[in-house]
Amino acid sequence: MTTKPRLYYFNGRGRMETIRWLLATAGVEFEEAEYLETREQYEKLLQDGALLFQQVPMVEIDEMKLVQTRAILNYIAGKHNLYGKDIKERALIDMYVEGTMDLNEMIMLYPFSSPEEKEKNFALMIQRATNRYFPVYEKVYGNHGQDFLVGNQLSRADVQVLESILMIEEYEPTVLSEFPLLQAFKARISNLPTIKKFLQPGRMQPHALDIPSL
């Protein structure tokens, strides 16, 4: 019997959410460990030697306890055929993914903006999305005319672009108004069976992550 991957994180999306996205896209059932809400829970993980760098997310998978978000994502993507057919495709996927992760970082930190910084940070987030990141993906889809970013097959790059789109649409629903190809991409990828299941109402955690003081 195969053991489900077990996820250790706070009660929220944060850096664990992209990991959830990839597992769900691959059709892999996973379970959330008890959410970290107290110092004692965190200390126990430290004492067990599980948190190599003293931080989460951590995923128990295939008899390993993996930490560091990118390492976890790389392993899941490689295992489940979401990481291209060769080293060149993997390099392209990494390139696009790094862009989405830069944008996601801005989106994740936005709810923690001070009241006086909130308006400025919102404007910067939308400006970066619509002038730096989304035009790249729109151009790639337009240039090759295929359904996916790399190799005409679904990869983690497509999954993470969709995640970024949905995250920023929570704050600005019209953000794709000037990107018709990304609109079509969003509709197409959102309707893939495993992703459609993952996006069912009620599954998503509140976006702002209330991290306890550990």
Note the pLDDT tens digit of each residue in 175-206.
Answer: 999 999 999 999 999 999 999 999 987 664 54
Classify burial at 166, counting beta carbons within 10 Å of its beta carbon; exposed 0-12, middle 13-18, buried 19 or more.
middle
For the ranges 51-60, 65-74, 117-126, 145-154, the lowest mean pLDDT is seen at: 51-60
Residue 211 scores a pLDDT above 60? no
Locate tokens 């969709």: which residue? 162
Q: Is the pLDDT of residue 208 over 50?
A: no
C-alpha distances in Å from residue 174, one per residue of 103, 107, 129, 130: 17, 16, 12, 11
Tell me, what's the pLDDT at 182? 97
> The tokens of 186 are what?
């969003």
Phi, psi of 109 (to 5 degrees): -85, -20
Whether the per-residue pLDDT at 108 is higher than 80: the answer is yes
**What are the tokens at 33?**
């460990």
Percent of the chain with pLDDT over 90: 64
- Per-residue pLDDT, averaged over 77-98, amounts to 96
Q: What is the predicted pLDDT for the residue at 52?
A: 73
Does 100 score more than 80 pLDDT? Answer: yes
**Integer Cα distance of 37 and 42 in angstroms:** 8
Q: Which residue has the tokens 């790249």?
A: 136
